[in-house]
Chain A
């Protein structure tokens, strides 16, 4: 009915016995007497008793609590409802506030303050606070910043070096003459050179290697800079062929001159270097440190003489790092643990004296047998394991220290893996087979020390040589054996120390004695092999052998295969 229940009260009325009946009759008319009919009925049923005064007890009965649920579902109520409530309360508070503080002035004050704050905030946003010099220095020296800087500068340099003009208008302007070699058909043309003013000046390029995973990356090692004694003695730079930027991708250095360097074949991030002190250093391009992440100890178990040869042989799962130093010690390492070699061996010929190894080469896909060249001018075969572990046969022919050795590694229908070439201080390059202990042929076109030789990775009859006159020669034995098929003298005429073919066989990298690395493109006719080149080379070999057989040399032996 909508009426809220009110508390009931009981009133005890004093009566005379005589007046009861009268009162009884008057109960309906007299509304002033508030008493429940039930009570009255009880009273009537009881015997007439004498009434007396008693104490008034006031009892309050609370209204019965009605428990109701206003929610119809289990899901929570939409969020605007509480907000609405909040707003509602807020409104109330504000109102109260206003009322309490005789409000209009207060309200406007608040508004003004808010507006001011907002403006200030905006100003702050426009003018960032200045950092003090100390703060800036601190930031610049932090690890995070250096890492960011290294990465961004690398990307930025690549972008800056690209100088293509996307807006070039062919109709409105004159076509400038295209710079560069128009010798598209020439056999050997200059592509670019790599040189760093700071790191490669006054240093000799001691070794080069192309990356097996990224064909555009080339690593070059340099020895001491005599003019800068405070700079690190050994420098290794990784250059990138893909971009036009002229600075190295990665710069590594160590305390001793690096004599040989190579990418770890099965670990794309590692660069291995053999140094003058006999230590092997390992650099990782994932860390932004320039110093080696791992180094072998300088102990008698490892090398104590300069390491001129480092080579990773094996397969993805089972690979070893083979290093040989000039005291004839060969060590085999695991790249995970460079604290001690897995095995080491003294290369001794005929049980007399150790071989002073200057260069080493493994034939293609051979992990056990290899060939080494020595300071005395003799070449030896050697093997790592087996009954004949150690030095095997001796190959005599050169009259000066052997500077470079290369095994035939082009894969094709005919197997020439028994062939290798050597270069020496005696101005000649000789072609050998592991089956004969005398050279098959001697190439005598050079007029200075020949510093390095390398077979082409794709063409069976092609190899490159470099000498002290700055000459880079390409010999194609299917064309001529007397003279090189292509020859170029490097600008400046500095002695060239190293030559390396790129894995595709189309580019040749040459390192000189002034710290420059020159990249030459080899023309298609010369570099690319045809299917008949193999059979042609087999015939050439037979001719060479036949010619040699005519002039039978003393002591020539046919060696067991």
Chain B
């Protein structure tokens, strides 16, 4: 639907947002506002990180599950909202 496009554009135009990527459960990007090489890089790496993070959470408590992941770095912040079948990545520079 066009709503998905609209919403992505709206988020992209918010202060400090550098990119938005939607990836499916296998790590294949479905939608992205970044160029292809960055998208693939982010998708692959985030997928790995997500598996490890989820594994860790479940390892410590099997009834628990990962709901949100934020990676704060010097230059920006990567926010990941995971789901059963897809996950949403937003890269933001909060101090901008």
A residues in contact (CB < 8 Å) with B: 126-131, 136, 139-141, 144-146, 148-149, 151-153, 155-157, 159-160, 163, 165-166, 198, 247
How many angstroms between the C-alpha atoms of A157 and B88 in the bound complex? 12
Nearest chain A residue, comparing its CB with the CB of B72: A166
Q: Add 20 more A-B contacts to A129-B28, A145-B86, A163-B15 (CB < 8 A).
A: A128-B26, A128-B43, A128-B44, A131-B30, A139-B30, A140-B30, A141-B1, A145-B30, A146-B1, A146-B4, A148-B84, A148-B86, A149-B22, A151-B83, A156-B11, A156-B81, A156-B88, A159-B68, A160-B14, A247-B10
For the complex, count residues of B whose C-beta is within 8 A of A: 34
Q: Which of B79-94 contact A (CB under 8 A)?
A: 79, 81, 83-88, 90, 92, 94
CB-CB < 8 A to B84: which residues of A? Answer: 148
Say whether A155 contacts B68, CB under 8 Å: yes
Number of A-B contacts defined by CB within 8 Å: 69
- Our pick among B7, B85, B95 for the contact of A153 (Cβ within 8 Å) is B7
Nearest chain B residue, comparing its CB with the CB of A130: B28
Chain B residues touching A, majority SS: mixed
Say whether A165 contacts B94, CB under 8 Å: yes
Nearest chain A residue, comparing its CB with the CB of B23: A128
CB-CB < 8 A to A130: which residues of B? Answer: 28
CB-CB < 8 A to A128: which residues of B? Answer: 26-28, 40, 43-44
CB-CB < 8 A to B4: which residues of A? Answer: 140, 146, 149
CB-CB < 8 A to A139: which residues of B? Answer: 24, 30
Shortest C-beta distance, A59 to chain B (Å), equals: 69
- Our pick among A126, A127, A141, A152 for the contact of B81 (Cβ within 8 Å) is A152
Shortest C-beta distance, A289 to chain B (Å), equals: 12
How many angstroms between the C-alpha atoms of A157 and B95 in the bound complex? 16
Say whether A160 contacts B1, CB under 8 Å: no
How many angstroms between the C-alpha atoms of A519 and B11 in the bound complex? 24
Chain A residues touching B, majority SS: helix
How many angstroms between the C-alpha atoms of A241 and B7 in the bound complex? 21
CB-CB < 8 A to A129: which residues of B? Answer: 28
Say whether A149 contacts B88, CB under 8 Å: yes
B58 at interface by CB-CB < 8 Å: no
Say whether A160 contacts B30, CB under 8 Å: no
Shortest C-beta distance, A290 to chain B (Å), equals: 9
CB-CB < 8 A to B95: which residues of A? Answer: 165
B17 at interface by CB-CB < 8 Å: yes
Nearest chain B residue, comparing its CB with the CB of A131: B28
Q: Which of B14-58 contact A (CB under 8 A)?
A: 14-15, 17, 22, 24, 26-28, 30-31, 40, 43-44
- 15 CB-based A-B contacts, threshold 8 Å: A126-B44, A131-B28, A131-B30, A136-B31, A139-B24, A144-B85, A148-B83, A148-B88, A156-B79, A156-B88, A160-B11, A160-B79, A163-B15, A163-B94, A247-B10
Closest 5 CB pairs of A and B: A152-B81, A152-B88, A128-B28, A148-B83, A128-B27
Say whether A160 contacts B28, CB under 8 Å: no
CB-CB < 8 A to B31: which residues of A? Answer: 136, 140
Shortest C-beta distance, B80 to chain A (Å), equals: 10
CB-CB < 8 A to A131: which residues of B? Answer: 28, 30
Say whether A152 contacts B83, CB under 8 Å: yes
Q: Which of B54-86 contact A (CB under 8 A)?
A: 68, 70, 72, 79, 81, 83-86
Shortest C-beta distance, A365 to chain B (Å), equals: 41
Nearest chain B residue, comparing its CB with the CB of A145: B86
Say whether A160 contacts B88, CB under 8 Å: no
Say whether B11 contacts A153, CB under 8 Å: yes
CB-CB < 8 A to B44: which residues of A? Answer: 126, 128
How many angstroms between the C-alpha atoms of A247 and B9 in the bound complex? 14
Say whether A160 contacts B90, CB under 8 Å: yes
Nearest chain A residue, comparing its CB with the CB of B27: A128
How many angstroms between the C-alpha atoms of A141 and B30 in the bound complex? 12
Shortest C-beta distance, A113 to chain B (Å), equals: 26
Q: A165-B94, A165-B95 are in contact. Are A160 and B27 (CB under 8 A)?
A: no
Q: A128-B27, A165-B94 are in contact. Are A153 and B86 (CB under 8 A)?
A: no
How many angstroms between the C-alpha atoms of A538 and B43 in the bound complex? 69
CB-CB < 8 A to A165: which residues of B? Answer: 94-95
Nearest chain A residue, comparing its CB with the CB of B14: A160
Say whether A136 contacts B30, CB under 8 Å: yes
- Most B CB contacts (10 A, CB to CB) among A126, A159, A165, A247 go to A159
How many angstroms between the C-alpha atoms of A482 and B17 in the bound complex? 52
CB-CB < 8 A to B15: which residues of A? Answer: 163
Nearest chain A residue, comparing its CB with the CB of B90: A156
Shortest C-beta distance, B20 to chain A (Å), equals: 9
CB-CB < 8 A to A144: which residues of B? Answer: 85
Nearest chain A residue, comparing its CB with the CB of B48: A125
Nearest chain A residue, comparing its CB with the CB of B47: A128
CB-CB < 8 A to B94: which residues of A? Answer: 163, 165
Shortest C-beta distance, A287 to chain B (Å), equals: 16
Nearest chain B residue, comparing its CB with the CB of A157: B11
CB-CB < 8 A to A140: which residues of B? Answer: 1, 4, 30-31
How many angstroms between the C-alpha atoms of A136 and B4 in the bound complex? 13
Shortest C-beta distance, A36 to chain B (Å), equals: 74
Shortest C-beta distance, B6 to chain A (Å), equals: 8
CB-CB < 8 A to B7: which residues of A? Answer: 149, 153
